[in-house]
Structure 1
Amino acid sequence: MSNSSFPIEFLLLPFADTHELQLLHFVLFLGIYLAALLGNGLILTAIVCDHRLHTPMYFFLVNLALIDMGSISTTVPKSMANSLWDTRVISYAGCGAQVFLFVVFVTAEFSLLIIMAYDRYIAICKPLHYGTIMDSRACVNMAAAAWGSTFIYAVLHTANTFSVPLCQGNVLDQFFCEIPQILKLSCSDAYLREVGLIVVSVCLLFGCFVFLVLSYVQIFKTVLRIPSQQGRHKAFSTCLPHLAVVSLFTSTAIFAYLKPPSMSSSSLNLLLAVLYSVLPPAVNPLIYSMRNQELKVAVRKLIWGMIFSTHKNPFSLQYQ
């Protein structure tokens, strides 16, 4: 196998043909990126600083906020840099790192969403056993298992993908390095090993998705049997944001990877990639804080505390 089968760099798909439109893409992505970092950072800080939110649900939400910050930081900054400097290049090593980190964060997000669905199922359907089943040790073990398994999973995918010789150029039909786009450049049937791993992964993910759907069927049946309207409202306020995040994440990803070949185009691929890789990390904080009153109060308290502290500091320095 010659070294020429492995390019030293890849060319990513640009968002626009003119530099002016690329600068517009840079500004839009910068706004989305900063909003995602700010929103997830506020949620993470509010939960850590408020002892009343030190519960299993918010522990997993902290992990989800970390995942969202990592996920959007894997793809968006490189795309912004390319648009700003009017280039399409990403190095071979940079592409490998992007594939590895993207698989880690996307798989970890799906795993966390499954765990959070299980947490809501136990809290609503088996409330008397919640403290026993979802104790601090169990929560840490589940989070560690999610992170550890996704790390191993990403290593396998990345090693398989980049061991495949590439004979059809180095131009990727996507704005970041993605496994399906890299496999399109492979030689003959050399990619079948990675395709087999992807098929097994899809089967496992489908099983997890079925578990998630069945969990929410049981959750809604239980919630609808709650006699008081206030109790139903509180239960829905913790379940609906999670269900909205799951729906946004899974629907866009499933459509992107299972759409008919006749619908495939560069513009559609770019739009779908933005929907499942850029949009969820940016809107997840808004979804979770909109209906969750406890989280909304904690975030508001954190923001007011930051505002008052910035006003106090100059005043106190003036009279020191």
Structure 2
Amino acid sequence: MNVESESKRTCGSLSPRHIKEIERRGLPLNWAIANCRSVCASEASSRLGYTAKSDGILLEGVDIQIQFKPDKPWRDDKTKKAPKYRSPLGNYDAILLHHPDDPRYWNDLEALKQKAYKIDGHPCLAITEGVFTGMAMNAAGIATVILLGVEMGLTSSQEDPQRKRYLVPTLEKLAKAGFGFIFCFDADAATKPGVRWGQRKLAHQLKAFKVPLYNATGLWQCDESYPNGNKGADDYIQNHGATQFIREVIGKCTSINVWEKQFEEPLAVDWNEPQSYLGTIGYWKTNKEGDVTWEPRCNFDFAIERELTSVEGGGFVLQLK
């Protein structure tokens, strides 16, 4: 992880349109200039390894990993979706952003340990998804590792003969250096099974390095009264300020082991004793892939099942709650 020399970095090359977009999002311009530049579709294509159908913003940090934000997202022929961000083909890694005032920020890890957020005296780095989100967190004073996606903190199983997944190189290096990690994905990630499962898999792999792990995902709520929806950490910081973000989100993170307790499945499901989770009644269920998911059931369902399984028998009595 060697920081490129200043002569190789392109700074101050954001178009007026993109500067306006950066400012609208409440992102610090000095961080944006150090890590973003406007590119045409042809250059984006050469960096992505496939045809880009729009100009946009190239997002890049201290290493070769990039992300591209097209001005006009285009639909994939297969998925029919139009991603807001595009990633290159092939292997991938995490992104560490250039610090506009400290070119050796990510090179001197011992110095970084002194600057990093500490929990019980242990230096910790945040992990989030998306360059703009990570940019806001870094500018707020929380050293942050940026993933291209929640699942992309681990290598692809297709790249391993035994179909195993490992930490991407940047995360592995930082874990070996002894940093703890704070997961801080979007507010709505707390209720998305795929995101929760992705975080659990990443946490499982990081546990092999015996470093402290914490969860800050879901410690704030989406709020549509804000134009940005208060969804990402960058939105929260824009709406409430960096000080409140550190105090109310990062400062209230919990051990990953505490967070994982919500996924513990009972040895046997007692249908007459339904559980409550996230304001709904239901039970924990393991699917054929082995993933544990929450299966909501309404009170009415349980009321009928209690009657059908009662020793009195003889039909059922409609029981409403």
Is TM > 0.5 for Structure 1 vs Structure 2?
Answer: no
Normalised to the residue count of structure 2, the TM-score between the two structures is: 0.23
* Greater RCO (Cα-Cα under 8 Å, separation 6 or more): 1
Normalised to the residue count of structure 1, the TM-score between the two structures is: 0.23
Query: Which structure has the highest strand share of the two?
Result: 2
Query: Which structure has the highest helix share of the two?
Result: 1
